[in-house]
Amino acid sequence: MADYDAIVIGAGISGLTAAAYLARGGARVLVCEQAGQVGGLFNSFWQDGYLFDGGIKAVENAGILIPMLAELGLLSQVRLHKSPVALITEKTVRPIRSLADVEAYFQFLAGHFPDQRDGLQKVLDDVLHIGDLLGALVGLVRSSFEELPGETAAPESRPKDRLAALGHLPATLMHVRAPLRRYLGKRLSNPALVNLLSHLFPDGTGALFGLAYFSMFLDYYYPEDGIQAVPTALAGAIEAAGGEILLNTRVARICLEHGRASGVALSDGTELRASHVVAAGDARQTFTELMPAAAVSPSFTRKLLAADPSHSVFAVFLGLDIPVEQLNLQGCGHLFYAPDLTGIGEADRDREDYFARVPQELSVPCLRQASLAPRGKTGLILSALTSWHYAHNWGLDGGKPSEGYRRLSEKLARQMVASLETFIPGLSHHVELCATATPYTLQRRTSNFQGAIMGWSYEREKAFQRTSLFRIARSVETPVPNLLMAGHWSFSPGGAPVAVLTGKLAAKRILRSTKGGRAIAPVDTRKDTR
Ligand SMILES: Cc1cc2nc3c(=O)[nH]c(=O)nc-3n(C[C@H](O)[C@H](O)[C@H](O)COP(=O)(O)OP(=O)(O)OC[C@H]3O[C@@H](n4cnc5c(N)ncnc54)[C@H](O)[C@@H]3O)c2cc1C
């Protein structure tokens, strides 16, 4: 008999979600996590009295996160608060707390680019229309969760019938099928304006996704005690329901019997048997390192290896010897800073001065909760989109950090701090702590290929998994029977909501084949379409 009904590889948000639903459903579940703490890219760490979030900076509900926490009875443990976003252009902070603020932002842009007013109005119309659609879609996704507390509203949309919004779906999708930059280029003739509306997103981002983000800004939450509170609560729920979690435990191999997943082998050689395995880590690793090549078809492997990972980030963690009030952030702990009104084009991403001009995502944990920084001081996280390949792979020497790598990280951190001085004059004189994280750091900690933060590339033709949202349930299937996948590599475009949803979907698949926590007939999860 198998030791477990399911073994989950990876305690990121997807693996934890899968395991929590499995344990709640009575399955015997084990989670193996290579790191010393749960969470993967959902993590926080303390340094010198400052709390920093090492991965995601605030969480989108998207009709998924809060319902998941509610279903698992965790809403009283993970106390989420709205986390308002602000856009900083040059020196002005513009909070985005409602769709009216989005409209005001477009008016500001129209004031600065008067000859682009008509084009901007068309883009704004699409933003609002997509906001309605998103509300309708989120309503559909929410219906896959059973218990919904009153406050789990979908992102704000205009007061109109959501079903009517769905009726516009075909026309809207026709409009916004193109990549965001191409879509904008057809409506706006000023390249700087195109940059300003697209440079926060990775290259190749679809127009639908990019325009939807203005509504998503209204849907961000921050947990009390930092992002780590979410995975910690999930881990508690797993253990309370009888599940097990092994930290510092790397899965070295997925065991196969007659071509079916039958358990895992750990890096110390221990073999554990299970009726199902859920791979909730990097997909390349799953299919090319953790199992023999013959387990999947050569065409599957070729396609997998040809696909590109998503973008990564360079992050700078600062401890400042000034109180947060001095930053004048208008109550917003999550901000996007554009140093100028020229913006960044795709061709700028490899430039030497890229980090001196790049738009930065800023996060200020202690603005949400004063105890997350020493009294009278401020922890500030800066991050910017980048790739593994920047500056000849970050000066890594044979894949390992070198003196050049360290010098480059320090130089780029200085560039980002200097750029931010337009908004916070004298910032560099207040830095008492500075740490950095590169794509290499993210890859080393989580095994996400090349430090990818969202799974597969956002460029449609470069991604591996891209199916219709309406078929997301099938994205957890793999070509190997009894092996399911969950997480941001299982559906594209990935991200936190996809990770949570696929975790739940994988658990549901397994529970469907179990009774009273005992596997009665493993499901055949083979996917015949790829
Ligand atoms: C800076 C930053 C900002 C972000 N912002 C957003 C945002 O605004 N919106 C959004 O939707 N998403 C955002 N994301 C992305 C989001 O955080 C991720 O998509 C999501 O957390 C992925 O969860 P996951 O469980 O799929 O994978 P991961 O978090 O990568 O978890 C995988 C886990 O598996 C473990 N593992 C891997 N291999 C093995 C093995 N062989 N044995 C044992 N354990 C293993 C890893 O250590 C890791 O803990 C952001 C990410 C970052 C880094």
ipTM: 0.99
Residue entry with tokens 């068309």: 122
Does residue 300 contact residue 530 with C-beta atoms inside 8 Å? yes
Choosing from 9, 13, 56 the residue with most ligand 1 atoms within 8 A of its CB, the one to mutate for a pocket test is 56
pLDDT value at 451 more than 60: yes
What sections of 191-277 are H helices per DSSP? 191-198, 207-216, 229-240
User: Using one digit for the tens of pLDDT, what is the confidence trace for 384-401?
Assistant: 999 999 999 999 998 899
Angle (CA) 235-237-241 rounded to 5° is 120
Tokens of 109: 């842009």
What pLDDT, on the 0 to 100 scale, is given for residue 92?
94
Provide the pLDDT confidence category of residue 521 given band limits of 50, 70 and 90: very low
Q: Which residue has the higher pLDDT, 3 or 203?
A: 3
Q: What is the pLDDT of residue 524?
A: 46
- Ligand 1 mean position, distance from CA 254 (Å): 20
Residue 32 has pLDDT above 50, yes or no: yes
Atom 48 in ligand 1: which residue has the minimum CA distance? 40
pLDDT digits (tens, 9 = 90+) for 239-283: 999 999 999 999 999 999 999 999 999 999 999 999 999 999 999
Q: What is the mean pLDDT of residues 280-295?
A: 96
Ligand 1: residue of 453, 476, 498 to mutate (most ligand atoms within 8 A of CB) is 453
130 membership: H or E segment, kind and range: helix 117-142
Q: What is the mean pLDDT of the chain?
A: 91
The whole-number pLDDT of residue 381 equals 98
Query: pLDDT tens across 141-186, in order?
Result: 665 565 444 444 455 555 554 555 556 666 666 667 789 999 999 9
**Residue 456 Cα, ligand 1 centroid: separation in angstroms?**
12
Mutate which of 41, 334, 504 for ligand 1? The one with the most ligand atoms within 8 Å of its CB, which is 41
Determine the angle formed by the axes of helices 191-198 and 99-112, rounding to 10 degrees. 160
**In whole angstroms, how large is the CA radius of gyration of the chain?**
23
Give pLDDT tens digits for 341-387: 998 888 899 999 999 999 999 999 999 999 999 999 999 999 999 99
Q: How far is the CA of 42 from the centre of ligand 1 (A)?
A: 6
| pLDDT of the residue at 525 | 43
pLDDT score recorded for residue 203 = 85
Ligand 1: distance of its center to the CA of 13 in Å? 7
β-pairing, 85-89 with 334-338?
Answer: parallel
Which of 55-77 are b and which e, b meaning 16 or more Cβ less than 10 Å from the residue's Cβ?
bbbbbbbbbbbbbbbbbbebbeb
Give nearest CA residue, ligand 1 atom 35.
Answer: 10
Nearest protein Cα to ligand 1, atom 7? 56
Q: Which of 12-21, 427-436, 508-517 has the lowest mean pLDDT?
A: 508-517
Q: Within its chain, how far is the Cα of 527 from the centroid?
A: 26
Q: What's the gap in Å between 496 CA and the centre of ligand 1?
A: 8
Question: In the prediction, which pLDDT does 497 show?
Answer: 94
- Say if residues 176 and 95 touch (Cβ distance below 8 Å): no
Output 346 or 14, whichever has higher pLDDT: 14
C-alpha to C-alpha distances, 20 to 38, 63, 70, nearest whole angstrom: 13, 18, 12
Question: Pick the residue with more confidence: 158 or 295?
Answer: 295
List, chain by chain if needed, residues with CB within 6 Å of any ligand 1 atom.
9-15, 32-35, 40-42, 55-57, 60, 250-251, 280-282, 285, 313, 383, 446-448, 453-454, 487-488, 494-497, 499
- Percentage helix, strand, coil, to 5, in the chain? 40, 20, 35
Atom of ligand 1 nearest to the CA of 38: 49
Give yes or no for residue 519 having a pLDDT over 70. no
How far, in Å, from the CA of 495 to the mean position of ligand 1? 8
Q: What is the pLDDT of residue 457?
A: 93
8 A C-beta contact, residue 42 and residue 67: no
Q: Whose CA is nearest to atom 3 of ligand 1?
A: 56
What atom in ligand 1 is closest to the CA of residue 41? 29
Taking the C-alpha atoms of residue 339 and residue 320, their distance in angstroms, rounded to an integer, is 20
Atom of ligand 1 nearest to the CA of 455: 19
Mind listing the pLDDT tens digit for each residue in 190-217?
999 999 999 999 888 989 889 999 999 9
Alpha-carbon dihedral 206, 209, 210, 216, rounded to 10 degrees: -170
CA angle, residues 243, 246, 248, in degrees to nearest 5: 160
Nearest to 153 by CA among 70, 237, 57: 70
| Ligand 1 centroid to residue 491 C-alpha, Å | 13
Mean pLDDT of 107-133: 94
